[in-house]
Amino acid sequence: MRALTWHGKHDVRMDTVPDPKIVNPRDAIIKITSTAICGSDLHLYDSYIPTLQKGDILGHEFMGEVVEVGRSTTLQKGQRVVVPFVIACGKCFFCEKQQFSACDNSNPAEKADMSEVMYGYPMTGAFGYSHLTGGYAGGQAEYVRVPYSDIGPIVIPDGLEDDKVLFLS
């Protein structure tokens, strides 16, 4: 598939990369239909966020159609969804209080400890925002793997066009 990848300060490219795969039972694969760029992406472009690696797929504002699902997710093939920036497990102390951006379980990164030093608390997992936030591939691609897909994605009713709902991400 084609994806927008980071290669260094002020160097992003369209590359051919492997298609995402279902890794865990709660995963879903989304075919991207719309994506956006926001000011936070400039932090990556300008290399202000540590732990980016050459070839990382950018993008944290996206939506699309569910094309593949793990056996334990509530999403269904064919649904249109907007996917939030943060990744949340739905089961930890913070998620049970609906404080998804503080999820204890969605950031497997070894560098998560660095965010605690930098910001005073560990960061949650996030799409396309460096290995500080889990190293998850972003949505500036044809497809994206969404972990814990039964928690974050918002199912969009028929009749609403992408440009009316994309910024819910």
Residue ranges of domains in the chain: 2-151
Burial group, residue 135, by CB count within 10 angstroms (0-12, 13-18, 19+) = buried
Q: Which CATH architecture has domain 2-151?
A: Alpha-Beta Complex (3.90)
Question: What is d(CA 70, CA 76) in angstroms, rounded to the nearest whole number?
Answer: 10
Per-residue confidence at 137, pLDDT binned at 50, 70, 90?
very high
Confidence of residue 133 (pLDDT cuts 50, 70, 90): confident
User: Cα 67 vs. chain centroid, distance in angstroms?
Assistant: 16
- The model's pTM is 0.92
Which amino acid, 7? H
Determine the pLDDT at residue 114: 65
